[in-house]
Amino acid sequence: MSPVCASSGALLAYLYVVCILSSWRSPSDSYYDTGTVKEEYDFVIIGSGSAGSVVANRLSAIPHISVLLVEAGKAPDGETDVPFLFGLQIGGKYDWNYRTVPQMNACLGMSEQRSVWNRGKALGGTSVINGMMFVRGNRIDFDDWAKNGATGWSYEDVLPYFKSIETFAIPEYADNGYHGDQGELTIGYAPSYSLASEAFLNACKELGYDSVDYNGPKQQGCSRVQFNIKDGHRASSSRAFLFPIVKEHPNLHITLESTATKIEFNGRRAVGVHFEKHGVSHFVRAAREVIVSAGAIASPQLLMLSGVGPKEHLQELEIPVVADLPVGQNLQDHIYIGGIAATVEKNAVIQDLDVSTYTDYCLHGNGPLSVPAGIEALSFLSTSFVNTSTESPDVELIFFGVSPSTEPAKEYLESLAYKKGVFEKYFLPNGGKKSFQIVPCLNKLKSRGEIKLKSVNPHDHPLIDPKYFSHPEDILVAVEAVKKTLEMIDTDAMKAIGARRWDIPFPGCEDKALYSDEYIECLARHLTHTVWHYSGTCAMGSVVDARLRVLGGVTNLRVIDASIMAKVTTGNTNAPTMMIGAKGAAMILEDNGLAAAKE
């Protein structure tokens, strides 16, 4: 969501830090990969991402059951551990690097009007390349799931599973009854923060917003960001849930660089999984269940390749139909509007890093390198389109204490397929100036998209169409969200550090009065960004039941990942996806008459 470095010198630092870290923090593939795969396991899990790693952890805690975890990527190395540099992973070796089909109403500033959708291709999935923001969602989100038929998914139902995965390290909120202290994932603030982020929080107070624990009793308000970071380093799902137990659970086998290509059925009973590793095809049987945890893009793709999906679409590709279900429909995401930034006069933001910065980080895990891409603070707030008594906030403002006008920022934006000339005309004129940015994210889009197969080849990326701004209300919310962002920049608290809005019009919007509603709409339609919160494509109630079992008469097959959300949660989705993994694993153990999972 942001440029990752304050200067090109940070690239040299990146190499220096990686050299140190990769030698001891990140085990190689051989540490995880079992090397051999048996003919049959009790459970076969496809995907080791935010949910799949948790499922593997919980199921393999039962010594007498066998578990195979199938992962298309490799084990991540030390370059993924440094929070500040996470954006350097975008488009790299740990990224599936999907692209959407051209958008009619959005992404006008991107090449071919297509959005780049980044997904982690590694042990740990997208938790290896994301921004590490830990946001559970709003109580209302889960209560709405339950009211709409997802029995057992109310906030009171899911809270124990949120608590089970975390060790909460923010003292002022640790005893409010909403947090865990025995989980695998360390949750806390980044060790460092800028003066500009303090100004942002003061601006929130000036505008009447409360200071809150947004993962506690109240979400709406402002806060420093809670991250899944431990000792200044990324705490991915694989680091938290697999690394500590893989040698202690001999019943857990992992096969890396293994792409699942098809689920095998006997009638409508899932009996095993086909996968390819290093060009060789393999088949493994599942005595009890196949669990698909490949994410909101790959999970529907695999189901459809296996004959579970919309009948008409499958027949077009001559795929035998196992079950006619709306797989791939109901695609949801959050978006953010780029380009909202301000210059500052005071030395208040994260700027050029020096040798002492790198040394402090390498020795102690402190300093700016411990801050994910300069993400420091956020605010959840509601526009006029929300009934605040019954609905969760529809906007999330994320504060970045770094400039979007540096050379590394240019590389990052180019990885997102910005059209040629956009950086030079809009961002570069403020190059060299101290700047910050505030990113308005839209949390309650009414637009719905879909995922379809491009072909029967499992190695072809599917056709992804989020249909951004296809619902007319979404663009109105975007305009109001940007205006609230500008209101934040214009506060006395921000003026105290010399904050001034950028005054350069975005190319293609020059004919509109700067920051008028018409201009903001134009900007939003040009710089329409995904926030990586893909969900909904195997939704509870239409594709899976409330126990995450695939419907349509299918047996021995579950989906456990963000795709099961009938409606996406409010805020970042990594935390609820991990919770889904923990709750889903508990359901599996209960339904199979096995010991209770950690709760």
Single-letter amino acid code for the residue at 566: A
- Strand bridging mode 308-309 / 323-324: parallel
For the stretch 266-302, pLDDT in tens is 999 999 999 999 999 999 999 999 999 999 999 999 9
pLDDT, position 356: 75
Of the CA atoms within 13 Å of residue 358, those in its CB half-sphere come to: 19
Question: 134-143, 296-305, 314-323, 368-377: lowest mean pLDDT where?
Answer: 368-377
DSSP reduced 3-state for 224: strand
pLDDT bin (cut points 50, 70, 90) of residue 5 is very low
Smallest CA-to-CA distance from 498 within 431, 429, 406, 435 is with 435
Single-letter amino acid code for the residue at 330: N
How many CB atoms neighbour CB 62 within 10 A? 19
253 is catalytic: no
pLDDT, position 596: 58
Report the percent of the chain where pLDDT is more than 90.
81
Q: What is the largest CA-CA distance in the chain?
A: 69
Confidence (pTM) = 0.96
- Dig out the tokens for 441 from the structure: 């994210």
Q: How many angstroms separate the CA atoms of 386 and 389, rounded?
A: 9
Q: How many angstroms separate the CA atoms of 535 and 328, rounded?
A: 10
- The answer for residues whose C-beta is within 8 angstroms of residue 86's C-beta and 6 or more apart is 4, 80, 129, 130, 131, 132, 234, 372, 373
Mean pLDDT for 441-464 is 98
Q: Would the pLDDT of 415 be above 90?
A: no
Q: From residue 99, give the alpha-carbon distance in Å to each of 118, 124, 583.
A: 8, 21, 31
pLDDT, position 13: 52
Alpha helix ranges (H) inside 114-165: 139-147, 155-165
Count of H-run helices and E-run strands, the chain: 16, 25
Give the residue carrying structure tokens 């701004």.
469
pLDDT, position 598: 53
User: Do residues 190 and 370 lie in contact, with contact meaning Cβ atoms separated by under 8 Å?
Assistant: yes
- Strand bridging mode 40-46 / 280-292: parallel
Q: Is 532 marked as a binding-site residue?
A: yes
pLDDT, position 453: 99
DSSP reduced 3-state for 370: helix
Q: Which residue has the higher pLDDT, 23 or 179?
A: 179
- Dig out the tokens for 204 from the structure: 């929130």
pLDDT bin (cut points 50, 70, 90) of residue 551 is very high
CA dihedral 412, 413, 416, 421 (to 10 degrees): -140
User: Do residues 86 and 372 lie in contact, with contact meaning Cβ atoms separated by under 8 Å?
Assistant: yes
Smallest CA-to-CA distance from 537 within 575, 567, 581, 578 is with 567
Mean pLDDT for 189-196 is 91
Mean pLDDT for 95-106 is 98
Smallest CA-to-CA distance from 476 within 424, 406, 525, 403 is with 525
- The answer for residues whose C-beta is within 8 angstroms of residue 387's C-beta and 6 or more apart is none
Q: How many angstroms separate the CA atoms of 267 and 165, rounded?
A: 37
CA dihedral 587, 590, 596, 599 (to 10 degrees): 20
pLDDT, position 21: 52
Of the candidates 233, 253, 313, 533, the residue annotated as catalytic is 533
Q: Is 526 marked as a binding-site residue?
A: no
pLDDT, position 124: 97
Report the percent of the chain where pLDDT is more than 70.
94
For the stretch 7-51, pLDDT in tens is 445 555 554 555 455 445 667 778 888 888 999 999 999 999 999
- Dig out the tokens for 54 from the structure: 């948790």
Q: How many angstroms separate the CA atoms of 17 and 358, rounded?
A: 7
Q: Is 533 marked as a binding-site residue?
A: yes
For the stretch 314-362, pLDDT in tens is 999 999 999 999 999 999 999 999 999 999 987 778 766 777 777 788 8
DSSP reduced 3-state for 303: helix
Smallest CA-to-CA distance from 343 within 515, 506, 495 is with 495
Q: Which residue has the higher pLDDT, 22 or 70?
A: 70
Of the CA atoms within 13 Å of residue 80, those in its CB half-sphere come to: 31
- The answer for residues whose C-beta is within 8 angstroms of residue 492's C-beta and 6 or more apart is 206
Residue 485 backbone phi and psi in degrees, to 5:
-65, -45
Q: Would the pLDDT of 431 be above 60?
A: yes
- Average of per-residue pLDDT values in the chain: 93
- The answer for residues whose C-beta is within 8 angstroms of residue 577's C-beta and 6 or more apart is 49, 50, 51, 561, 562
Burial 313-326 (b: 16+ CB within 10 A, else e): bbeeeebebbbbbb
Complete domains list, the chain, with CATH? 9-591 (3.50.50.60)
- Dig out the tokens for 84 from the structure: 């500040």
Q: Would the pLDDT of 76 be above 80?
A: yes
